[in-house]
Structure 1
Amino acid sequence: MTVTNADRRRANREARLKRKKKIHKVLTGVLLAMCVVTAVIVIAALFSGDAYNDEDSFKAYASEYFKEVDETKNVGQPQELVKFGTPLSAAMEYPITGQSSMDGYIQGIAEALVNQFETDHKGAGKEDTIAMLVDYDSYKTQRAAIGLVFSEEQRKADKRQMTPISSNIYTYNFSTDTGMPLTAIQIFNPDYKDFCSQYMTKYFKEKYPDQLVKRYQNALSNAEENFNKFVLTEKGVKFYFDAGTVVNKEEGPIAVEVTYQELKGVIRDQIEIRAIDPSRPMVALTFDDGPFPKTSNRILDCLEEYGAVATFFELGQNVAAYPEVVKREAELGMEIGSHSWSHPDLKKLKPKQVRKQIDKTNNALKKACGQTASVFRPPYGNNSKAVEKHAKAPIVLWSVDTLDWKSRKAKSVMKVVKGVKNLDGRVILMHSIYDSTAKAVEQMVPWLLKEGYQLVTVSELLQYRYNETPKNGKFYGYDYFYLK
């Protein structure tokens, strides 16, 4: 066979082409290997103890976390709250809805979560690296409400790896009409807990037959606290159960969505929004010196039962001791006011001391329930220029003194209240630390409602009965709360 020059050139071209392809494959392999190594390095950096060492790198670390989290954000624009420190750092995303009252409340929640994180790890050493990362889900509904879920994860550096050490779920529902948080009683009919207990028991037995913890029945009984983590969604109500409460902790927090069709007869057709009729008589119940768990919760139980509200003027030192009571007050729609930190006579204090009493209490309230005092009542009713300057809220006294602190008898308290011929526009003074007062409230609330009175907060009374927009630093004394 004769080999021509053309054949030789063709053979040479094919050989060169094969060599190029081989080189290309080698280079491609090298590049792929480099990409893999780079990716591994990046991932390791993200989750290693050295993932961040300054504010900028922590922001990048948090940003990557938020990208990876699978979430539903149907409401609001994401807003970031980032605090870098040694050893504690926190990053949180929360929504801005454009509704001022709702946004103020949500921002308060965000700040309170960060503050709580810092308090919980106050004893952490400088050698520790602990991060709190909080993301959210938000849901639109067809019930004039939105649902909001905060998912918190805390991580700690362990052998250069950021290892999860805890997780928590926080749920909120807000009225799109008022911008205020909604309570279970506004959403469900009173017997909803019985339905939830039966539904969830059946669900978990069928879905997780081999993962149930020993005492799972306790977490699924008809106690209200078992079903207080829920959000309204477009399709139904999503209930959350903390890790380890019903099924093995390894399963993590569990969410169970129940459709509106399944909840028919259990959920209200419309959300119950408390309406105030200016043409009808109204009265404000107020309570000083709390919170105190036993008596405050007994009073709250009564108010919740009748769908009523009151104003609680709390002592900061008690708020710090019993924050869960204040949180419940806020969740039930009560108005929360300040009564100073430790109940001194503010007229005898220097302005700097007055300010400290007020600011310290507001900080405790914000930590407990995400908001500061909307009204202020000075101890003993003693007002001063320093109080008006530093109160940061309307200063409110009373017009009916039940003397419950003196009598310590429910019968005597009721005698005082019933002895006032016309309670319209009045502010009734009581104290939430006495059993006798709690007993009196259990008689007083149904009696007032039967007499045709609306139970309102102090701020609502000013607005609807006296046509007054409450003003910070303004003194509303004894003589103010009498209809002229």
Structure 2
Amino acid sequence: MRKLNYKKVFIFLFCLTAAVGTLGLAIKSLAFDKKRTVSAYTTDKNYPEADIQTYVKDNTKGGYSASRPVLHLENIDKQLESYIKKEIKDYEKKWKASDGKASELNLTYTILHFSKQTITISFDKYEQVEGKKQSGTQIFTYDIPSQQKLSIEDIFATDTDYLSVLSDIVFEELTQKEEEGISNSLIKKENKLKAANFNSFSVFKNTLIFYVKTDDSTKTHTIAIKKDLFKDSLLDSYQSQDLNEDRVKEWQPKHIVAKLPVQNEWIDPSKKVIALTFDDGPHPSHTMSILEDLKKFDGHATFFVLGSRVQHYPEVLQKMLQEGNEIGNHSWDHPQLTRLSKNKIEDQIEKTQDAVKKATGTEPNLVRPPYGAINHNVREFMEDMKVSLWDVDPEDWKERNEKKIVNKVMSKAKDGRVILMHDIYQTSAQAAGKIIKQLHDQGYQLVTISELEKVKKDRELSGITISE
């Protein structure tokens, strides 16, 4: 019979007791009661470099769940932890003041962008205390190298006018969204927005994204703006594409503001306006003749160009823009787009966009489909471009009679109307010269399509009406 080794038995019993005790503590730490909070860690599925810490208190009358990212960046992690704990503390204070009535707090987060230079985190909060429900969003952007929270003043040079540019862009964008319930009183042009209005933002590879709230609205409006518009004011580290590219996948906003808003300083919205438009060009002599007549009478027009012609006359497009005119996309070679396959529609639009950009450095944001023919398939490939048709068509392509063209246009000219003509015919160019002079003499301001839309919006906001 083997002799029992009491020393080994003692060691085994000690280890077993310690293991049971440890297990008991673990179970106790995971048990939900009214006095303990569980802090659990998981991995962020979108950004593996980050962990998720969740504070949970299971209490049917006052429980909560609050999460934050753990980035393993000491100072940023401390700030995020402080924010979460303050939210929990404020909630529990309200809950206790309610005499322990049924309440809840749910705080979650989303990493909106994470690059070498910055990280942007959005916290969504839902809170209910004494039957009162509240929800809201807080967005923080941190500079990775310095581990400091950023404000708008931190990313722009102090001696630049970036706030005015931002205000103008936001005003322009929000006036296009009245269907979403934005009241005119929130976006009066004279009320320039302050820096605090722009402190929720992300710095992407090629764009700046602003999450803007107007003063009496809880809705957040996401506005993406190309960095190129701030090339003289945005600091180099935030201008850099390499430093600001997302670590996982660069998200592309659907709508990006690529041009500064039209400034109608020369246009008086209380006076008549009319928009002349010319299709099918450019033409090396007829278009240039029209441009000279417009310049003579301080007028602007919109030219809807064919990509197949743009490539041969880039200098004509450059002159258009230099003199304040506008360029629109009229397809590559004038087919009826509704009869084409999706691939061919896309080719017609994109090739023309590329041709105009090569000639001028900018892409059109207006499109006029040939013959005005448009359907769902055509619209699908126009992205953020606005379709522009017309009110008056003198059929100058068919008439080819200068006097008749002038009479048709002038007999139907009215404030706010869009006139369709073509700049590839000599008779049209000659008629255009007379039309421009007569409209000017009758007190019309000759404007582009975008300027016309701006005037209409200014009139609406200012309560101006025109009677003829």
TM tier, smaller: 0.3 to 0.5
TM-score (norm 1): 0.41
TM-score (norm 2): 0.42
Rg (Cα) greater in structure? 2
